[in-house]
Amino acid sequence: MAVSGPPKGENTIFLDLRGVADVSAGPQIFAHAQRLGLGQRILVEIDRDPHTLLRAAAFQMREAISWSAEEAGQAWQVEIRPRAGADARDVVELLVWDHYRLDRQFSGVLAAANAGRMEEAEAIFLEYWIGLRRHVYMENHVLAPVLGGGMEQGPLADMLFEHDSIVEQSRLVEETFREQDHALLPAICAVLSGSLAKHENREENTLFPIWQAASNRDRPRAAQLLERTQALLAGAEDPAVRQTFPD
Ligand SMILES: [Fe+2]
Ligand SMILES: [Fe+2]
């Protein structure tokens, strides 16, 4: 389905779903919500209780959105926003949000490369590449030693192994951009995009429940980890990140 995003500079998307059946309303909410940038919102007007539709959209987007819904006369008014990194309640929520953000960036790389807009593809890739290294650094060097999960065998060992492969594949994409081997890009980007999605899914389903439980056992430590992760993902420890994962 073709849905156009908000015009540049426009922060609110209005969606009137009165009289629209769930089978079409659900995909419309999803399609718009998926394109929401930070600072943007969707206002939905709908003539029935929207909670089931909203939960489905949030589930499809791995809880990357938050919403509020209010009944107003005959209709409901809903506001949907991206769940910003700053709203995360713990480090696991923040990492899930960051997975979603990395995925979106990477599909931006793929879309621009497929359309032959190589400069744009490279610019988005470079943002993704530093973001990925911050994310992996946080998981490998800050959270893994504290929250565990089976360093020798188990979800943590799988995670560490997959990180090596994803970093290696990303480095290959970087080289391909540098050498302007543009014909190769769509194929290697497609492989990496699949590896990323599989990895994130596995992490969210096997390791993150262990981390969430471990983090909940020590509240003051959990608050410190959250604060450090927020700062790290925003670039606060980039010298160490770049030293560990050089260009
Ligand atoms: Fe992750
Ligand atoms: Fe990971």
Question: Considering the domain boundaries, does residue 5 fall inside one?
Answer: no
Could you tell me if 182 and 208 lie in one domain? yes
CA of 225 to the centre of ligand 1 (A): 15
Q: What is the pLDDT of residue 9?
A: 42
Distance from the CA of 200 to the center of ligand 1, in angstroms?
Answer: 6
Q: What is the whole-number distance in angstroms between the Cα of residue 139 and the centre of ligand 2?
A: 6
Q: Which residue has the tokens 């080289």?
A: 175
Distance (angstroms) between ligand 2 centre and the Cα of 90 equals 16
Cα(123) to ligand 1 centroid in Å equals: 22
Domain assignment of residue 103, yes or no: yes
Residues 106 and 64 in one domain: no
Residue 2 lies in a domain: no
The predicted pLDDT at position 36 comes to: 73
pLDDT digits (tens, 9 = 90+) for 103-141: 888 888 988 888 889 999 999 999 899 999 999 999 999
Domain co-membership, 45 together with 163: no
In terms of domains, do 216 and 190 share one? yes
pLDDT, residue 74, reads: 87
State the pairing for strand pair 12-16/41-46: parallel
178 belongs to a structural domain: yes
22 Cα–ligand 1 center, Å? 33
| Residue 17 maps to a domain | yes
What's the confidence (pLDDT) of residue 38? 58
In a domain, 142, yes or no: yes
Residue where one domain finishes, among candidates 39, 67, 82: 82
- Cβ 100 vs Cβ 234: under 8 Å: no
Rounded to 10°, the helix 91-114/118-137 angle is 160
Average pLDDT over the chain, rounded to an integer: 88
CA of 199 to the centre of ligand 2 (A): 7
- Is residue 68 located within the same domain as residue 99? no
Which residues form the domain of 171? 85-244
pLDDT one-digit tens code per residue, 211-241? 999 998 999 999 999 999 988 988 899 999 9
Same-domain status, 56 and 33: yes
The answer on pLDDT for 5 being more than 70 is no
CA of 8 to the centre of ligand 2 (A): 32
Residue 112 and residue 173 share a domain: yes
Q: Which of 82, 100, 124 corresponds to the end of one domain?
A: 82
Same domain, 179 and 57: no
- How far does the centroid of ligand 1 lie from the alpha carbon of residue 81, in Å? 22
Quote the number of domains for the chain.
2
| CA of 233 relative to ligand 1 center, distance in Å | 12
* Among 57, 82, 107, residue at a domain's last position: 82
Same domain membership, residue 90 and residue 24 = no
Tell me how far the alpha carbon of residue 41 lies from the centroid of ligand 2, in angstroms: 28
pLDDT of residue 3: 42
Same structural domain, 33 and 74 = yes
Residue 168 alpha carbon to ligand 2 centre in Å:
13
Query: Whose structure tokens read 């925003």?
Result: 234
pLDDT band at 2 (very low <50, low <70, confident <90, very high): very low
Kindly state whether residues 111 and 193 are assigned to the same domain. Answer: yes
The more confident residue out of 2 and 47 is 47
Question: What pLDDT, on the 0 to 100 scale, is given for residue 243?
Answer: 96
Residue 77 near residue 171 (C-beta atoms within 8 A): no
- Assess whether 77 and 118 both reside in one domain: no
Confidence at residue 87, expressed as pLDDT on a 0 to 100 scale: 73
The CATH number assigned to the domain holding 29 equals: 3.30.110.40
Per the domain annotation, does 30 fall within a domain? yes
- The answer to whether residue 119 sits within a structural domain is yes
User: What are the pLDDT digits (tens) for 164-205?
Assistant: 999 999 999 999 999 998 888 888 888 999 999 999 999 999
pLDDT of residue 77 exceeding 80, the answer is yes
**What whole-number distance in Å separates Cα of residue 82 and Cα of residue 136?**
22
| Choice between 149 and 64, residue whose per-residue pLDDT is larger | 149
Give the pLDDT score at 4. 42
Q: How far is the CA of 52 from the centre of ligand 2 (A)?
A: 30
